[in-house]
Chains A and B, each alone.
Chain A
Amino acid sequence: MANTQAMCTSFKVEILGGVHAIGTPPTRGTTAKDTFKAALFVDTATLGAGTTAYSSTNEVAGAGYTAGGITVTNATVPASTGTTAFWTPSASLTFSNVTLTTAFDAVLVYNSTQSDKAVAVYTFGSQTVTSGTFILTMPTNDASTGLLRVA
């Protein structure tokens, strides 16, 4: 037998669950889960790894769309398979009855409870919507395709 250098999988899951505060943690007035939101951005925006928080700059605008986007349904607890922790929203992101005439190709998931801090940016083929619905269906919630994965 030999020891194996590794980041513990339980730690990865607990990162997603907010158990560890390696840095100075925010003051929490409740033990409830944070609220996450999803906002759409035009295809000329430059969101990416350097995005630190939600901003309305270059967010889509149009009839039926509210700045800041929609609340992400979170009924799934972080889990792990093998050495990968993962979490995926438990419902599709649905923007109903909207008109978004400026092409958009990205959604920013952010933590609206924690000062709108950014979580992740996901891109897709550029789209417009006219008096219709935009649905973003989540990938399978597992270690290879989950929306948030700590590999």
Chain B
Amino acid sequence: MASVQTTRGEMDEADLIKREGVVETDRESTNWVEYWLDDELVHRSVHVHLKQTPALFPELEKFSNG
């Protein structure tokens, strides 16, 4: 039986309600998972995958490109 670290210590996943979600944008892909014990949130983990970040010196492009 899989266990989950929660605010109440290690709990069996089967005793909890699992909710998952995905957020996709141009800049990130995010997955989150929550475990609830009745109406109480006892675990939430998040995985953000950065896809696109701003260039450090984009203003230099006009000089580099002539």
Contacts and interface: CB of A to CB of B under 8 A. Distances in A.
Interface of A: 4-7, 83-84, 97, 99, 120, 122, 124-125, 127-139, 144-151
B46 A135 contact: yes
B33 to A, nearest CB: 8
A130 B41 contact: yes
Interface of B: 5-7, 23, 25, 27-28, 30, 32-34, 41-53, 55-58, 60-61, 63-66
Name the 4 nearest CB pairs between A and B, nearest first: A132-B45, A151-B55, A130-B44, A137-B49
Given A127-B32, A129-B45, 14 more contacts: A6-B65, A6-B66, A125-B25, A127-B30, A131-B42, A132-B33, A134-B46, A134-B48, A137-B47, A137-B50, A145-B53, A149-B53, A151-B57, A151-B60
A6 B55 contact: no
Contact of B56 (A7, A120, A138): A120
Contacts, number: 99
A149 B50 contact: no
If over half of A's interface residues share one DSSP class (helix, strand or loop), that class is named, otherwise mixed; here it is strand
